[in-house]
Amino acid sequence: MRVFGFAGWSGSGKTTLIEALVPRLTARGLRVSLVKHAHHGFDVDQPGKDSWRHRMAGCSEVLVTSGARFALVHELRGAPELSLAEALARLSPCDLALVEGWKRAAVPKLEVWRPSVGKPTLHPADPWVRAVATDAPESVSGSLRTFDLRDADAIATFVVENAAGWPVAN
């Protein structure tokens, strides 16, 4: 499995960019998966549904399956959150695992940055940032390759060319 990350502040467009990249990557014959880090509480279950009721009753895990998909919800109940390595280890085999979030992870990544978000760039403080995708290329200083956020084809090529084998060697 090869990995490539996307980092940036909330509202910078990481999810929208990844959504545009995935069809381009799968069209190249790659089996693509994604792990996303959330800094806040989230719930993929629906209050009132049987699976939610079972979790609320105290189940550690609830797996819901159908002919189309399955979902496993695991309650940490005070245990530490998964590391990136632990999250990647839970994926089924794939060609390319995209990583959204984990800003400080030691994986090659693309910084998604918009000046309008009002936050500084993550590079050059992060040596794993390989390029920047932005809606204001003229605002990015330094020697990193810079992409227009709308150039999903070029970014997809860059991701494929710069993804690293897992685990990543320094």
> What's the CATH superfamily of 2-43+80-165?
P-loop containing nucleotide triphosphate hydrolases (3.40.50.300)
HSE toward the beta carbon, residue 31, CA cutoff 13 A: 6
3-state secondary structure of 19: helix
- How many beta carbons lie within 10 A of that of residue 127, not counting itself? 9
20 falls in which pLDDT band (50, 70, 90)? Answer: very high
pTM: 0.91
| Local structure of 20: helix, strand or coil | helix
Identity of the residue numbered 54? H
Q: Report domain extents, the chain.
A: 2-43+80-165
pLDDT tens-digit map of 64-121: 888 998 888 888 888 999 999 999 999 999 999 999 988 889 999 999 999 999 999 9
Label residue 136 by pLDDT band (50, 70, 90): very high
